[in-house]
Amino acid sequence: MKHQLASIMLLAALGGAALAEEYRLGDLVVQDPWAREMPPVSATGALWFRVVNHGGADRIVSVQSPFAERAELHTHELEDGVAKMRHLPSVEVPAHGDLVFEPGDRHVMLIGLNEALVAGESFPVTIRFAQAGEMEVLVRVRSSETAGYGGLSIHSGHSEDADELSGSRDPPEAIA
């Protein structure tokens, strides 16, 4: 596992910005994990990726990163016309299918950031699958401009924990 991780990280480093990073664990391929840059004052962040599954059904049961106190699987839901975040206990990876995390939809919420997310840098995240086990990936941090989502905030519309986390300073209508 250690050895496998080392070679993957080397590939990712060699690939640079030209290639989207890919991480393989058995039948699962995690593609292009990324996060939006966050200033040091931000308590929360979010990251996204795509999983391509060439095998049987699996399930993401948890995500962890040394950059945050905890990471949660979240989705957005409309509630009385307002987009709110909902915590998901796990997310299914369909057999021979794709699972997409993208802004405005499923994401991994980083809560209690202890590092700034600086554009151009990467940070490690461990994704735990119920069947396949753990996969460590390097999440690339992109600036709001290069991420292609303009000023769209992934933090707006945070539900009950928004105030507590003080991560929501954007207007709710910013949600796609």
Residue from 36, 74, 84, 106 binding Cu ion (CB under 5 A): 74
- According to DSSP, residue 155 is labeled S
In degrees, rounded to 5, the angle at the alpha carbon of residue 144 between the alpha carbons of residues 29 and 140 is 30
- According to DSSP, residue 38 is labeled B
Q: 21 vs 72, which CB is nearer to Cu ion?
A: 72
Q: 141 vs 175, which CB is nearer to Cu ion?
A: 175
* Per-position x/- string for 125-164, each x denoting binding to Cu ion as judged by CB under 5 A, each - no binding: ----------------------------------------
Q: 76 vs 140, which CB is nearer to Cu ion?
A: 76
Stretch that binds Cu ion, among 68-76, 93-101, 128-136, 161-169 (CB under 5 A): 68-76
Residues whose CB is less than 8 angstroms from the CB of residue 13 and which lie 6 or more positions away in sequence, other chains included: none
Stretch that binds Cu ion, among 79-87, 114-122, 136-144, 163-171 (CB under 5 A): 79-87
CA pair distance 75, 10, nearest whole angstrom: 32
Stretch that binds Cu ion, among 32-40, 49-57, 83-91, 127-135 (CB under 5 A): 83-91
Stretch that binds Cu ion, among 29-37, 72-80, 122-130, 167-175 (CB under 5 A): 72-80
Beta bridge partners, 110, equal 45, 71
Which region, left, alpha or beta, applies to residue 16 given φ > 0 means left and ψ of -120 to 50 means alpha?
A: left
State in angstroms the smallest separation of the CB of 111 from Cu ion.
Answer: 8
Place of tokens 């990936």: 137
Number of residues that bind Cu ion (CB under 5 A): 3
Structural contact between residues 66 and 122, judged by C-beta atoms closer than 8 angstroms: no
109 binds Cu ion (CB under 5 A): yes
85 binds Cu ion (CB under 5 A): yes
Tell me which residue of 176, 174, 36 sits closest to 110, measured CA to CA.
36
Summarize as ranges the residues that interact with Cu ion (CB under 5 A).
74, 85, 109
